[in-house]
Each structure stands twice: as structure tokens, then as C-alpha cells.
Amino acid sequence: GAGKTTLLQILGTLDKPSNTNEAKLNVSQQSVLQLKDKALSKFRNEHIGFIFQFHQ
């Protein structure tokens, strides 16, 4: 519907916006959209926490 899940996935760095050329996402003064996969995983591990509603 309103995109709540998509927004949370982008904020949590689990997904990227469809137009990353114009999008900006800074977390703790770091531009996370520019990070490669390994660096993004490290950043997520050090700065972002999740509690999933349904764990599978």
C-alpha cells in the first residue's frame, strides 16, 4: 500500500532505492548508498539493529 516496508528496508540498508543516481541516504554521517556489499554489511553490523516481526 503506502510503502512502509519498502521504506524500512531502504533505511535499514536491506534494499536500495530504484534510482540510486538521485537518491541520498546518510546514516551516522556515512553515505550508505555508495558502499559496496562487504562494506555495507560491516556498516549495518556496526550501526543498525533490527527486530523482525516474523522470524523465519
For the cut 80, the answer to whether the pLDDT of residue 20 exceeds it is no
For the cut 80, the answer to whether the pLDDT of residue 8 exceeds it is yes
Residue 32 DSSP code: G
Give the residue from 11, 2, 1, 5 showing the smallest Cα distance to 54. Answer: 5
pTM here? 0.69
For the cut 90, the answer to whether the pLDDT of residue 39 exceeds it is yes
Mean pLDDT of 6-33: 88
- In whole angstroms, give the CA distance from residue 43 to residue 27: 9
Predicted confidence band at 51 (pLDDT cuts at 50, 70, 90)? confident
